[in-house]
Amino acid sequence: MYAIVEIAGQQFKVEEGQKIYVHRLDAAEGDSVEFEKVLLTDNDGAVIVGEPLVPNTVIEGKVLGHARGDKVIIFKKKRRKGYQKRTGHRQDFTQVEILSIGPAGEPRKKAAPKAEKKAAEAPATEEVKAEVKKAPAKKAAAVKETAEKKETVKKAPAKSTKKPAKE
C-alpha cells in the first residue's frame, strides 16, 4: 500500500516503514506527526483519487531527527563591471518514518503485540542472566591459555629477499 501526501508544500509518495526527508517541521525528535493532506491511496490495485483530498485518511509518522542538506553555492557575476557575489545556502530537513497509512482515528495494531512479547520473555531472561554470570570465568581461562600459546610459539627470522650484488 502506498499514498501520495502533501507535506510542507511538497508531494511525496510514501509507504509504511519508509523513511523520508521533508522540509523542517516544528516537531521535536521522537514526536509523532499526522499528515491529513492525502491526495491518492493505492491498496493492492484499489486506487482512490482525492477530489482534491481523500476523505478520512491520515498518515501517521514519527520524527527521527533533524538534519541539514548539502551546501548550495549561489554565484552572481556581471561581466565587464567588476561585480561578483558568492553566497551559500544549507536547507534544514526533518527525517520522518512513516508508521501507518489508513483511516483517521484507527489505532495502530503493531503496538499491542510488543508488550505481550516482553511479558512472555521475562522469565527466560533470568535464566540467561544466571548463565552470563558464570561465563566470564570461562572466558578468562580461555584468554590465559591463548596468551600462553602465543608466548611459546616463536617466529623464525625472515629470510632475506635481496639478491647478492654482482662483482
Residue 3 near residue 14 (C-beta atoms within 8 A): yes
- Domain housing 118: 111-147
Return phi, psi of residue 41, to 5°.
Answer: -130, 150
Residue 18 near residue 61 (C-beta atoms within 8 A): no
Regarding whether 67 and 90 lie in a shared domain, the answer is yes
Regarding whether 116 and 60 lie in a shared domain, the answer is no
Regarding whether 98 and 38 lie in a shared domain, the answer is yes
Q: Tell me the pTM.
A: 0.57
Cα 64–Cα 70–Cα 72 angle in degrees, nearest 5: 140
Regarding whether 35 and 94 lie in a shared domain, the answer is yes
Q: What is the residue-level pLDDT of the chain in tens, covering all 167 positions?
A: 899 999 999 999 999 999 999 999 999 999 999 999 999 999 888 999 989 999 999 999 999 999 999 999 999 999 999 999 999 999 999 999 999 998 877 655 554 444 444 455 555 555 555 555 555 555 555 555 665 655 555 566 666 676 766 65
Residue 32 near residue 61 (C-beta atoms within 8 A): yes
